[in-house]
Amino acid sequence: MSIYEPPKPSVPTGTQTTTRFCLVRHGTTDWNQENRIQGATDTPLNGQGQMEIGRLAIALKNEGWELVVTSDLQRAAESGRIIGQELMIPVFSHRELRERSFGPLEGLTFAEIKAKYPKGSDHLALPGLESRRAIEARAMATMGMLATVFTGRRVIVVSHGGFIRAFFRAGLGLERRSPANGERVVVVWDGRWQLVEGGSRNDG
Length of the chain: 204
Q: Catalytic annotation on 130?
A: no
Q: Catalytic annotation on 99?
A: yes
Which of these is catalytic: 78, 99, 106, 136? 99
Could you give phi then psi for residue 146, rounded to 5 degrees? -65, -40
Measured CA distances, 86 to 53, 156, 160 (Å): 10, 13, 21
Which of these is catalytic: 26, 78, 136, 160? 26
**Cβ-based neighbour number of residue 182 at 10 Å:** 23
Burial 77-99 (b: 16+ CB within 10 A, else e): bbbbbbbbebbebebebbeebbb
**DSSP per-residue codes, 39-97:** TTS-PPB-HHHHHHHHHHHHHHTTS---EEEE-SSHHHHHHHHHHHHHHT--EEE-GGG
Cα angle for residues 191, 197, 198 (degrees, 5° grid) = 130
- DSSP, collapsed to helix, strand or coil, labels residue 141 as helix
Active site residues: 26, 99
